[in-house]
Chains A and B, each alone.
Chain A
Amino acid sequence: DIQMTQSPSSLSASVGDRVKITCRASLSISSYLNWYQQKPGKAPKVLIYAASSLQSGVPSRFSGSGSGTDFTLTISSLQPEDFATYYCQQSHSTPGGLTFGGGTKVEMK
């Protein structure tokens, strides 16, 4: 299985900050990488698919980059509603062998 490693596992930031979360795959997954946001008690919601494509309806302050093994989710200016946990997920193995990163919790400083 492809292992996905996210860093950091948590971070503290303020409204307006630029936030970057990284995800590393244990082998090359081309651009087959998705990012999800999860708020407490809710199901995850896709933000970015195929490494850099913004899901319809998602604010443009979210962006994704990377290919191969190293990927980044960037929030350009953190908003109050962005405090949540973020997960990466590889789709290189679709339809089987899907794996998620361990998550990054973004907390208020």
Chain B
Amino acid sequence: QMQLHQSGPGLVKPSETLSLTCTVSGGSISTTSYYWGWIRQPPGKGLEWIGNIYYRGTTYYNPSLNSRVTISVDTSKNQFSLKLSSVTAADTAVYYCASLSGYYYVYHFDSWGQGTLVTVSS
């Protein structure tokens, strides 16, 4: 099973860009049966899917965040990254990276990063 480790700042100023990186170990990010995703959870609330990326660079985003989100992959470093622009206090949340594994439509998030609390505040 893959291990995922997140890195990035825990404090971002309003209107700036949130940036997080997820490093994959225990396997290759170029595995064909995997997608790589970001999920967030505002304090005391539920889970919200942000987006996924395939190792070849194809991306899929939550329509509610689509205009502000960019997910990218660096196969040479076995990493994928999240950028969320023009953040506001509403973007304060714990952000998780996760591996989405499976086949056809039988996919589930089977490994998760440790989570990063990102607070948007001046």
Is A87 positioned at the interface, with any CB of B under 8 Å from its CB? Answer: yes
Is A46 positioned at the interface, with any CB of B under 8 Å from its CB? Answer: yes
**A97 touching B60, Cβ below 8 Å:** yes
**B107 touching A43, Cβ below 8 Å:** no
Distance in angstroms between the alpha carbons of A50 and B114 in the assembled complex: 25
B30 to chain A, nearest CB (A): 16
* Interface members, chain B 92-109 (any A CB < 8 Å): 96, 98, 100, 102, 105-109
Number of B residues, CB within 8 Å of A: 26
Mostly, the B contact residues are strand
Mostly, the A contact residues are loop
B39 to chain A, nearest CB (A): 8
**B110 touching A32, Cβ below 8 Å:** no
Distance in angstroms between the alpha carbons of A108 and B76 in the assembled complex: 48
